[in-house]
C-alpha cells in the first residue's frame, strides 16, 4: 500500500450514502481505504462489507448484535467494537484522515465533535449535526484547523462554485429543490397521503428519513440551515427554488451579479467522491449528462403555504439559539411517527410548530444545552403524537 492512501472512517456504512461511499472506495483502491465501518443494527450487511473491504475496525451500535458480528469476523484482521461510545472513541484513531458522517439524525453530533477535536477532516453527509449545533461545530472546526467538506449535493455544488473565489463576496446562494413526490399537490390531497407514497422520490433513492424530509420540504429547510453554517451566510442570502429535474445542483450569485451553477445527473457518488478526493478531482465512468436528454430545465417557486416545514426552518434559522435543535428533534420524532403510521403527513408540521412554541428557547446554548433540548423536545413531541386520534393511514 502506498503511503498517500487516505484512511476513511464511514459512520453509517450500511446506509444509502455509506454503501455509495464504499462503491467509490472500491473503485479507487489505490487512493482510499475503508479503515472503520459502522452500522446501527444491520449486522448482516456490516459483515458482508467487512469481509469485502477488510477495515481495521467495525462498530455495531446495537450491542445485542455484537456476538453475531464478532463470530462472523473471527479469524479476520478486523476488530469488532459495539455501542455508540465506541464510535465516539474510534473516530479519534491516529490512522484516520477523513471521517464521513453518513449516519442519520442527531446521533451524528457527538461522533462529529470527537472527530473534529482529534483533527480529522469531516466529509459531512449528516446535515442534522450542522442544523442542531452549526455555530459550535464550525467554531470547533476553525479551532482545530479541520475542513468540513459537504457531501450533500446542493452544498457540494456551492462548494465547487466557490473554488477559486475565496476573496470574492457572495450576494446570495440559490439552493435547488426537486419539490419531492408531492410537488403541486394541495393540503386536501396531502392530508391522506401514506408513507408508501411519500417514500417514492422522483429523482433520488435515499434512506427513509431523508426521503420523508424531501416530501415535506423539511430537507430543504435543513439544508438552508446547513448552508448558513457551511458558507457563513445570513438567512436573507439563501434562496430556495424548485427545479424538478435536479440537474442544477445549486448556484452562487456573486456581488457583480454573475451566477455560477454546478450541474450533472443526480448521482450522490459524485459529491461523495468530490469530498473524499478534495482538493483534486478523480476520473470516473459515471453516466454523463446530455443536454439533449433535458431540453427543458424548469424552475418554480416553493409552495411554503402548503409545505409549512420549509417556512418553519427559516423561522428557526432567524431565531437561532437552540431553535433549530428543537425543530430537528421534533422533526425526527414526527418523521418516525409518520413512518410508523402514527400520524398523518400534514400533522408532522403541527408537531414541529407546537414544539417550537413550547420548548424553552435559549439564545446561547452549550453542548449540554443542545443535548437537553434534544431530549426534552423528543419527549414533548412523542407525547403530542400519543394524544393524536388514531387513524390507519396505511390503509388509505
Ligand atoms: P440511511 O438511513 O440509508 O443510513 C443511515 C446509516 O446510519 C445506516 O448505516 C444506519 O445503520 C446508521 N444509523 C442510523 N441510526 C443510527 C444511530 N442512531 N447510531 C448509529 N448509526 C446509525 O440514511 P442515508 O444514507 O440516506 O442518510 C445519511 C445521512 O446523509 C443523513 O443525515 C442524510 O440527511 C444525509 N444525506 C443523504 C443523502 C442520500 O442521498 N441518501 C443525500 C444528502 C444527505 P443501520 O443500517 O444498521 O440502520
Ligand atoms: Mg441535498
Q: List, in order, residues 6 or more apart from 191 with CB less than 8 Å away.
A: 344, 345, 346
Rounded to an integer, what distance in angstroms lies between the CA atom of residue 142 and that of residue 197?
42
* Residue limits of CATH 1.10.1740.10 in the chain: 163-265+296-395
Q: Considering the domain 163-265+296-395, what is its CATH architecture?
A: Orthogonal Bundle (1.10)
> Of 75, 70, 27, 29, which Cα lies nearest the Cα of 46?
70
* Residue limits of CATH 3.40.50.720 in the chain: 6-150
Model pLDDT, residue 389: 76
Fold of 6-150: Rossmann fold (3.40.50)
Q: Is 200 exposed, middle or buried (0-12, 13-18, 19+ CB in 10 A)?
A: exposed
**Residue 112: nearest ligand to its CA?**
1
Which sign, positive or negative, has the C-alpha torsion 163, 104, 83, 143? positive
Rounded to an integer, what distance in angstroms lies between the CA atom of residue 185 and that of residue 382?
28
Q: Is 99 in the pocket of ligand 1 (CB under 6 A)?
A: no
Take atom 45 of ligand 1 and give the residue whose Cα is closest: 40
Peptide bond into 160 cis (omega under 30): no
Q: Is 65 in the pocket of ligand 1 (CB under 6 A)?
A: no
How far, in Å, from the CA of 113 to the mean position of ligand 1?
Answer: 17
How far, in Å, from the CA of 73 to the mean position of ligand 2?
Answer: 35
> E strands, 62-199, where?
79-82, 98-101, 121-124, 148-150, 170-177
CA triple 226-127-129, angle to 5 deg: 95
Q: Each residue's pLDDT tens digit in the chain (396 positions)?
A: 446 899 999 999 999 999 999 999 999 999 999 999 999 999 999 999 999 999 999 999 999 999 999 999 999 999 999 999 999 999 999 999 999 999 999 999 999 999 999 999 999 999 999 999 999 999 999 999 999 999 999 999 999 999 999 999 999 999 999 999 999 999 999 999 999 999 988 888 899 999 999 999 999 999 999 999 999 999 999 999 999 999 999 999 999 999 999 999 999 999 999 999 999 999 999 999 999 999 999 999 999 999 999 999 999 999 999 999 999 999 999 999 999 999 999 999 999 999 999 999 999 999 999 999 999 999 999 999 999 876 545 444
Q: Is 46 in the pocket of ligand 1 (CB under 6 A)?
A: no
Q: Is 291 exposed, middle or buried (0-12, 13-18, 19+ CB in 10 A)?
A: exposed
Model pLDDT, residue 33: 98
Q: Is 327 in the pocket of ligand 1 (CB under 6 A)?
A: no
Amino acid at each position: 500500500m502506498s503511503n498517500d492512501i487516505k484512511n476513511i472512517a464511514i459512520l453509517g456504512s450500511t446506509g444509502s450514502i455509506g454503501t455509495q461511499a464504499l462503491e467509490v472506495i472500491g473503485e479507487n483502491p489505490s487512493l482510499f481505504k475503508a479503515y472503520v465501518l459502522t452500522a446501527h443494527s444491520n449486522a448482516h450487511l456490516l459483515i458482508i462489507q467487512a469481509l469485502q473491504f477488510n477495515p481495521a475496525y467495525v462498530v455495531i451500535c446495537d450491542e445485542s448484535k455484537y456476538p453475531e458480528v464478532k463470530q462472523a469476523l473471527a479469524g479476520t484482521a478486523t476488530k469488532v467494537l459495539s455501542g455508540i461510545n465506541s464510535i465516539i472513541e474510534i473516530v479519534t484513531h491516529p490512522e484516520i484522515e477523513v471521517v464521513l458522517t453518513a449516519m442519520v439524525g442527531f446521533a451524528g453530533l457527538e461522533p462529529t465533535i470527537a472527530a473534529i477535536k482529534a483533527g480529522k477532516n469531516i466529509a459531512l453527509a449528516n446535515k442534522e449535526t450542522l442544523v442542531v449545533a452549526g455555530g459550535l461545530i464550525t467554531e470547533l472546526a476553525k479551532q482545530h484547523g479541520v475542513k468540513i467538506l459537504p457531501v450533500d449535493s446542493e452544498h457540494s455544488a456551492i462548494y465547487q462554485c466557490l473554488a477559486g473565489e475565496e476573496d470574492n463576496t457572495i450576494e446570495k446562494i440559490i439552493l435547488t429543490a426537486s419539490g419531492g413526490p408531492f410537488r403541486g399537490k394541495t393540503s386536501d390531497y396531502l392530508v391522506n397521503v401514506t408513507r408508501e407514497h411519500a417514500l417514492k422520490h422522483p429523482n433520488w433513492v435515499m434512506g427513509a428519513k431523508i426521503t420523508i424530509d424531501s416530501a415535506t420540504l423539511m430537507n430543504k429547510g435543513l439544508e438552508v440551515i446547513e448552508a448558513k453554517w457551511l458558507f457563513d451566510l445570513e438567512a436573507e442570502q439563501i434562496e430556495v427554488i424548485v427545479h424538478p429535474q435536479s440537474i442544477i445542483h445549486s448556484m452562487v450569485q456573486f456581488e457583480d451579479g454573475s451566477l455560477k451553477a454546478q450541474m450533472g445527473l443526480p448521482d450522490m457518488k459524485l459529491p461523495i467522491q468530490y469530498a473524499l478526493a478534495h482538493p483534486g478531482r478523480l476520473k470516473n465512468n459515471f453516466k454523463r449528462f446530455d443536454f439533449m436528454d433535458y431540453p427543458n430545465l424548469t424552475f418554480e417557486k416553493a409552495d411554503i403555504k402548503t409545505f409549512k416545514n420549509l417556512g418553519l426552518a427559516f423561522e428557526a434559522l432567524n431565531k437561532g439559539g437552540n431553535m433549530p435543535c428543537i425543530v430537528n428533534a421534533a422533526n425526527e420524532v414526527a418523521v418516525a411517527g409518520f413512518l410508523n403510521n402514527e400520524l398523518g403527513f400534514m400533522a408532522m408540521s403541527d408537531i414541529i410548530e407546537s414544539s417550537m412554541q413550547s420548548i424553552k428557547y435559549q439564545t446561547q446554548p452549550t453542548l449540554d444545552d443542545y443535548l437537553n433540548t434534544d431530549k426534552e423536545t423528543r419527549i414533548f413531541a412523542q407525547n403530542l403524537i400519543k394524544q393524536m386520534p388514531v387513524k390507519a393511514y396505511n390503509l388509505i
